[in-house]
Amino acid sequence: MPRKGCTNKYFSDIEKVRGQISAIPGIIDPVANTLTFFFPFPFEIVGLCFFDGLPQGEANVFQGGRIYLDTTANQAAYAEMLQALFIAFGFANAQEQGTSNGMTAYASTIFSEYMYKYLNFDLQPAYYNTFIAPGNAAIDFWQSELATPDPATLKQRFNELIEFIDDMSFKPLYGAPGIYIINLVGNTEPYAEDLAAYLALGETPVINLYVCGINQFALTPDAPGNPLTNLIDSINFSPATPDAILWDA
């Protein structure tokens, strides 16, 4: 019997769908030599970013409370890597649940095999160009930015790119929500060499993806434990001793 793929849908009413932006951190396991991403919603990858504290210079900060974009030079240099990563995610999700090529794996259940109904061998020619179009728009944007004479207005133009992707892309072909695991050893996928080079740029290997998503959340069964406890650190709450101030009426 032929496979049917995942029957779950991102949304049931297109009129209620809206776009959203977020940063998705890549979590490196130095023992297993893996890089893991958890996407809680359908996504398009549009750039690279970093987390920072908020406010800066104070004793008590909200770690990871500020997201800022990587340099235009890095965005342009690694834009094709991000597109290759997105494509690899799509084909990993299209595989049968529990299977992997040993390099890029989809490790969730709720949207497992979602992309099979779009990226299987017979249907791939019909959907592939639509699947890759938003990422290609991001590649063109960042490579064009290298020659832009007014970097002060970069954020405005970047927001226009996100609005364009939100307005013009085919939302059922956004990347499937869930957990993606990349093998960092012996990986020969098209993104692998550039990913290794980008991770080697900083003293601490890290990669954070700036993504355009849609407001569909249905992943509680697949949600991993929080590996970024340093992101929860403020005067009112810490991962070690959560507390709160209760005011009398």
Among 38, 11, 36, residue whose Cα is nearest residue 23: 38
In the chain the first and final C-alpha atoms are separated, in Å, by 64
Model pLDDT, residue 34: 95
Q: Is 21 exposed, middle or buried (0-12, 13-18, 19+ CB in 10 A)?
A: middle
Residue whose pair of structure tokens reads 């403020």 in the numeric block? 234
CA angle 29, 33, 39 (to 5 degrees): 55
* Cβ–Cβ < 8 Å for 110, 224: no
Whether the pLDDT of residue 153 is over 50: the answer is yes
Side-chain half-sphere CA neighbours of 229 within 13 A: 6
Per-residue exposure over 133-164, b if at least 16 CB sit within 10 Å of its own CB, e if not = ebbebbbebbeebeeeeeeeeeeeebeebbee
Model pLDDT, residue 232: 59
Model pLDDT, residue 25: 92
**CA 108 – CA 98 distance, rounded (Å):** 9
Name the 3-class secondary structure at 222: helix
Whether the pLDDT of residue 85 is over 50: the answer is yes
State what percent of residues in the chain have pLDDT above 70.
Answer: 86
Domain ranges for the chain: 20-231
Sheet holding 178-183, edge to edge: 62-69, 43-54, 207-214, 19-29, 34-39, 178-183, 104-106
**CA 15 – CA 159 distance, rounded (Å):** 22
Mean pLDDT of the residues in the chain:
86
Tell me the per-residue pLDDT of 64-81, one tens digit each, with 9 for 90 and over. Answer: 888 999 999 999 999 999
Name the 3-class secondary structure at 175: strand
Among 38, 186, 203, residue whose Cα is nearest residue 108: 38
Tell me the per-residue pLDDT of 179-228, one tens digit each, with 9 for 90 and over. Answer: 999 999 999 999 999 999 999 997 677 899 999 999 866 655 677 777 77
Rounded mean pLDDT of 223-244?
Answer: 62
Identity of residue 14: I
Name the 3-class secondary structure at 239: coil
